[in-house]
Amino acid sequence: MIDFHCHVDLFPSPELTADEIDLAGTYVLSVTNTPKAFPKTAQIAKGRKRIRTALGLHPQLVAERHGEVSLFRRLLGETRYVGEVGIDGGDENAKHLDLQREVFNDILDACAKIGGRVLSIHSRHASGEVIEALDRHRDAGVAILHWFTGSLTHADKAVGMGAWFSVGLPMLKSKRGKSLIKRVPRDRILTETDAPFASNSGDHYPAAAVADTLTALSRLWDCDEIETRRQLQGNLRALGSRAEAFKVRLT
Ligand SMILES: [Zn+2]
């Protein structure tokens, strides 16, 4: 099983959540919302084979935390994975759009400069802008659009640029989400939970939601779960070898 966008550090007991992830045997991208949260969150994943920690600066926190961009740059050498980053064009965040654009640009520049990263990207109400920014920074690495709700035209453009998509149950339950997933090549899809948000398993890791996502995706792809699982695992392996090529500082 694969959960390529999960906020492990935002569970009430992250260590326990990591134990539950280990027990479930799920491969997890543990994203962070601020650079300051990265070192401690990376520590939780130490010695755990299936958890990778991403360095992030959530667009909804940019107004408050843009001062951490320099810390982001300093920490970027320690991981091949970046997220959650991006732009949020929702009403509450629209007043900080310029700052969000600037920070996202800085992040993509930094990723390009260091030789590329795998990026988990937020694009709520800003898919066009996010795709334009990625288009200007093609050397930033492999972009994975998380919980994408943009138009099919934007999705097509993203696919054309080499972007991937991580999809969860809410997308698989919506008509729009389903048509988008159908449109994207199967070798560009990974599953995600965005837990502890968008899941209702209380304080626990939502292993059942990951299984349900696989079931829903099988139905949409019209193939059995073994085949779906094989496809997703192949995708993760392919992404893993892309990531291996990105240089990191060993800590
Ligand atoms: Zn998230």
* Domain layout of the chain by residue ranges: 2-244
Q: Ligand 1 centroid vs 197 CA: distance in angstroms? A: 7
Per DSSP, 49 falls in state: T
pLDDT of residue 202: 77
Q: φ, ψ for residue 190 (rounded to 5)?
A: -130, 160
194 CA to centre of ligand 1 in angstroms: 5
**What architecture does CATH give domain 2-244?**
Alpha-Beta Barrel (3.20)
Render pLDDT for 109-121 as a digit per residue (tens, 0 to 9). Answer: 999 999 999 999 9
Interval between CA 198 and ligand 1 midpoint (Å): 9
Average pLDDT of span 12-25? 96
pLDDT digits (tens, 9 = 90+) for 47-90: 999 999 999 999 999 999 999 999 999 999 999 999 999 999 99
161's CB contacts (< 8 A; 6+ apart) are 131, 134, 135, 138, 143
Mean per-residue pLDDT, 16-26: 97
* Residue 139 CA to ligand 1 centre (angstroms): 24
Question: pTM (2 decimals)?
Answer: 0.96
User: pLDDT tens, 150-171?
Assistant: 999 999 999 999 999 999 999 9
Question: If you average pLDDT over every residue of the chain, what do you get?
Answer: 96
Distances (CA, A) of 91 to 64, 67, 96, 236: 17, 23, 10, 35
10 Å Cβ neighbour count for 40? 12
Rounded distance from Cα 178 to ligand 1 centre (Å): 20
Ligand 1 midpoint to CA 125 (Å): 15
- Asked whether the predicted pLDDT for residue 249 surpasses 90, the reply is no
- How far does Cα 189 stand from its chain's mean position? 12
Q: Which residue has the tokens 């070192």?
A: 39
